[in-house]
């Protein structure tokens, strides 16, 4: 599982920093792409990565401000041209469907695939065989949501040699045992999954907070997360200005991570007042509260490992 920051700026693009968009590449067997927000120029940013737009399966929008949404119509249009003909799930606050369909209709944009719109509210908004996505409202100037992605635990590694000793033939029975099922062989031998498969692997938890000032729901979404992505529009000491516009500072993002018992914090959505040379200082501010704090820059990406027991 890999996360990419396609844009890390707030409000408007800068020469070396685009507006907000995040991509989450899922591991085997899905290998699909989920995106969170798509500000202006997002599809241009994708061209500088190995990510493939035709793999885009779901787009989650935190809120309708332009720096998080103006790139969506172009992104959806280009998806048709690069072989992305499978259905797309599109999530966002009330108004997301009207916003996107109006842009596509008035521009006579042809979409060759089905878009299913989900106007989200509090609770579980999406569930697949391997993932659950929960949304909670945050505190911003317009309706805004944060998302918590929880990966299901996966079966432990099979002890193939042990299965052979027990006389289990390779094939479907291996699969059933890997899923945790006990089986009975034709000779009556009971083979317990616990005796032949390792302990299930815990799933990962990724929290992506939209624009927000500090609030209880951000803390709830981030609880025990392996990775918290949180806006840090302003620096320490600028709390009054941050809250006036519905934003957070570096130390407030770090405080949320610490109080939620998250494992790692990546800050993004930096004000245009900060240039790239300022990021190290912003990172250090956060680390006074939460040592595992990092400031993202455009095209920054990391692997998200499975949690260790």
Annotated binding site for Zn(2+): 63, 65, 67-68, 140, 211, 269
Strands (E), 30-106: 33-38, 56-60, 88-92
Q: Which of 37, 67, 226, 298 is catalytic?
A: 67
Verify whether residue 182 is a known catalytic residue: no
Question: Using an 8 Å Cβ cutoff, are 203 and 150 in contact?
Answer: yes
Sign of the four-CA dihedral 144, 131, 231, 103: negative
In terms of Cα–Cα distance, which of 113, 21, 145, 8 is closest to 71?
Answer: 21
Token duo for residue 203: 């799933």
The DSSP call for residue 205 is: E
Question: Please, what is the end-to-end C-alpha distance for the chain in angstroms?
Answer: 18
* Residues 6+ away with beta carbon under 8 Å from 299: 4, 5, 6, 45, 48, 49
């Amino acid at each position: 599982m890999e996360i990419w920051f396609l844009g890390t700026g707030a409000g408007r693009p800068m020469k070396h920093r685009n507006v907000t968009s995040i991509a989450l590449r899922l591991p085997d067997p899905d290998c699909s792409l989920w995106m969170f927000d798509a500000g202006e120029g997002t599809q241009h940013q994708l061209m500088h990565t190995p990510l493939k737009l035709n793999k885009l399966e779901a787009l989650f929008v935190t809120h309708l401000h332009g720096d998080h949404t103006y790139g969506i119509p172009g992104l959806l249009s280009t998806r048709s041209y690069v072989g992305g003909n499978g259905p797309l799930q599109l999530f966002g606050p009330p108004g997301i469907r009207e916003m996107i369909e109006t842009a596509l209709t008035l521009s006579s944009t042809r979409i060759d695939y089905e878009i299913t719109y989900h106007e989200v509210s509090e609770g579980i908004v999406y569930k697949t065989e391997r993932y659950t996505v929960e949304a909670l409202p945050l505190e911003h100037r317009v309706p805004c949501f944060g998302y918590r992605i929880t990966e299901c635990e996966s079966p432990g590694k099979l002890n193939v040699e042990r299965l052979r000793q027990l006389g289990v033939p390779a094939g479907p029975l291996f699969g059933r045992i890997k899923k945790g099922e006990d089986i009975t062989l034709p000779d009556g031998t009971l083979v317990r999954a616990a005796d032949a498969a390792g302990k299930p692997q815990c799933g990962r938890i990724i929290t992506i907070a939209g624009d927000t000032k500090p609030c209880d729901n951000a803390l709830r979404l981030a609880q025990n997360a392996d990775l918290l992505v949180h806006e840090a529009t302003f620096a320490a000491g600028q709390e009054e200005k941050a809250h006036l516009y519905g934003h957070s500072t570096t130390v407030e993002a770090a405080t949320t991570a610490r109080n939620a018992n998250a494992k790692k914090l990546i800050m993004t959505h930096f004000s245009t007042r900060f240039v790239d040379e300022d990021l190290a200082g912003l990172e250090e501010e956060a680390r006074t509260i939460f040592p595992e704090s990092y400031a993202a820059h455009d095209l920054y990406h990391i692997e998200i490992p499975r949690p260790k027991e």
